[in-house]
Amino acid sequence: MDLGISGKRAVVCAASKGLGRGCAMALAEAGVNLVINARGAEALEETAQAIRDAHGVEVTAVAADITTEEGRAKVLEAAGEADILVNNAGGPPPGMWQDWDREDFIKALDGNMLAPIAMIQALVPAMMDRGWGRVVNITSQSVKAPIPVLGLSNAARAGLTGFVAGTSRQVAGSGVTINNLLPGIHATDRAVSLDKGVADQQGITPEEAKAQRCKSIPAGRYGTAEEFGAACAFLCSGHAGFIVGQNLLLDGGGVNSTL
């Protein structure tokens, strides 16, 4: 399917690895020129080159921390007038509800709520002026079904979800859509570190932890960054202009709910 976005320009945050990289690769496959970001310059440049080699689009790599104002300023300077924004950042660490203090919450809010909101505020006005734009936020299945040890993530992402629910309706009339993609367990570095956390907690091996977690997913496996990227590219496509303010689960059926 021609996604109808060839030649457009996208900013994909936190994209040197994992789900962000999957989104960047899928957008590039659709002919979109990219600004990609992550903190570590080496992995970021490797990903930028892999995308250029695979799809021949322009890729600008900006090594910066997207959760800081200075980091966002660098990304925004390179972005210019972007048509597409994919918001992403690392997830907060697991822990216990009684241990988190104000600083832990502020850090989680900065990463998973306030940074994506700041990027939306910076880029969406020009999209509205041009009458076309797409924003996809990578959030988590924990928005629909809480993961108790990820309370910081549950809280911060719920805040972003509330912001998007209202704002997406305010900007839709100008041709800009904002939606959230909710990953269940995907085979990325993040999943490997969560497998290790489960293994340490239960005194089992990471492989046993993975097998145990796979059993909790009706599809019987972890998702892939490629599948995730394809869903993101569709939401960013010319065909998705009527999809507004939605929270789309990609979880192999892991969240057991009717709606």
Which tokens is 101 given? 């203090």
Q: Which is nearer to ligand NAP, 23 or 171 (CB)?
A: 23
> Does 16 help bind ligand NAP (rule: CB under 6 A)?
yes
> Does 218 help bind ligand NAP (rule: CB under 6 A)?
no
137 backbone φψ class: left, alpha, beta (φ>0; ψ -120 to 50): beta
- Cα 28 from Cα 143, distance rounded (Å): 28
C-alpha dihedral sign at 208, 213, 215, 221 = negative
> Does 18 help bind ligand NAP (rule: CB under 6 A)?
yes
- Cα 101 from Cα 209, distance rounded (Å): 29
Q: How many residues bind ligand NAP (CB under 6 A)?
A: 29
Give the contact letters, 74-103, x = binds to ligand NAP (CB under 6 A), - = no. Answer: --------------xxxx------------
DSSP assignment, residue 143? G
Nearest-approach distance from CB 157 to ligand NAP, in angstroms: 8
Q: Which is nearer to ligand NAP, 20 or 171 (CB)?
A: 20
Where are the strands (E) in the chain, listed by range? 9-12, 33-38, 59-63, 84-87, 133-138, 176-183, 247-250
> Does 11 help bind ligand NAP (rule: CB under 6 A)?
no
Helices (H), 110-150: 115-130
| Residues numbered 107-166 forming contacts with ligand NAP, rule: CB under 6 A | 138, 140-141
From 183, 229, 245, 254, residue interacting with ligand NAP (rule: CB under 6 A):
183
- Cα 245 from Cα 179, distance rounded (Å): 5
Q: Which stretch binds ligand NAP (CB under 6 A): 4-12, 49-57, 188-196, 240-248?
A: 188-196
> Does 191 help bind ligand NAP (rule: CB under 6 A)?
yes
> Does 195 help bind ligand NAP (rule: CB under 6 A)?
no
Residue pair 245/168 in contact by the 8 Å Cβ criterion = yes
Chain residues in the site for ligand NAP (CB under 6 A): 14-20, 37-40, 43, 65-67, 88-91, 138, 140-141, 183, 185-186, 188-191
